[in-house]
Amino acid sequence: MPDPRVFFCDARDDVRAALVAKLAAQRNALAKRIVRDGVLAEERTIAADTVAGDFVDHLLTAMERRSYVGILQWVDRTRQRFRDVVPVHSMLASGVRGVSGTLRAWEVPAAELAAELESLADAIDATLLHWYLVPLDAALDEEIDADVDRLLGTLASCDCYTRDHSQAVAEASARVARLLSFSGAGVNFVARSGALHDIGKTTVGLDVLNAPRALAPHEWVAMREHAAAGAAIVGAIESLRPFAPIVRAHHERFDGRGYPDGLMGSGIPLAARIVAAVDAFGAMIDERPYSPAMSVDDAIDELVRHSGTQFDPIVVEALIESLRMTAFRSPSGAL
């Protein structure tokens, strides 16, 4: 069962329940919209209608509970069942975006629910085999790993803590991607993105990077530049170029208040949303000279508190589920 802390209650729950009830009343119309938006006319079949109807039932339950990991696993099982009949992933991802558009058009404020559905559509897309267009080539895989290791070696020469933290983020991000039903290529992409996310800190002065205190405002300005700097470093290496947008976006926020570009919701690459949540969790549970470590439970509570604002709700749910199964290895030895 998903961690019950994901199903927290607040003033928005009455609105959520009302919106889900309204969608439930339109259940058949939504199923038809999913088929219409997501399947070419010549591919519309009884199987497509069946998949869409079942999906709407699962979707309404997931929206009510704020729990989406299970529906992604259902999508993959359904793809296997109907793989020769209907393009399940593209149909459902397009259909979910259509439902999100329906919510945004209603007079009742529904931006939070609409954003969750757009994130779900991204996650469905991300389970496709060729996600992120990283070539499935053994020689290129070796080249990518060699270049990642070389950059992590450079990072270690500046700050061993950040290198170890980056490796821990890579491992935990891969676990989250697996829970979200990513393909093997997608999991590898997310893991490498996690390993590279802080590479821009090699451009930050050691006096700022290793300051034994909270940073001053002007030092935070310098520190915040590491995301864009890391993207420039990664983008200059041909084998690592696909990872540059993820490195640049790992401090964006789901509500659009992050940096460096102020991206919002599904405008942030899904891999970056995964790395952002895992990175923040790792920072919270680790002991630093200017910041005592939080307990794992307190850090999970922080993730939940900022779900839908700082973090993607679907990613938060998957991260919490992954923590229930596997401990997070932080540089200081905490869980």
Q: Which residue numbers are catalytic?
A: 201
For residues 126 and 187, what is the distance between their CA atoms, to the nearest angstrom?
A: 10
For residues 262 and 40, what is the distance between their CA atoms, to the nearest angstrom?
A: 35
Task: Tell which residue, 88, 100, 86, 92, has the closest CA to residue 43.
Answer: 86
For residues 171 and 42, what is the distance between their CA atoms, to the nearest angstrom?
A: 43
Question: Is residue 155 within 8 Å of 202, Cβ to Cβ?
Answer: yes
Neighbours of 290 (CB within 10 A): 9
Number of H helices, E strands in the chain: 16, 0
End-to-end Cα, the chain, rounded Å: 21
Residue 228: what are its φ and ψ, rounded to 5°? -70, -40
Q: Is the dihedral of CA 106, 35, 30, 113 positive or negative?
A: negative
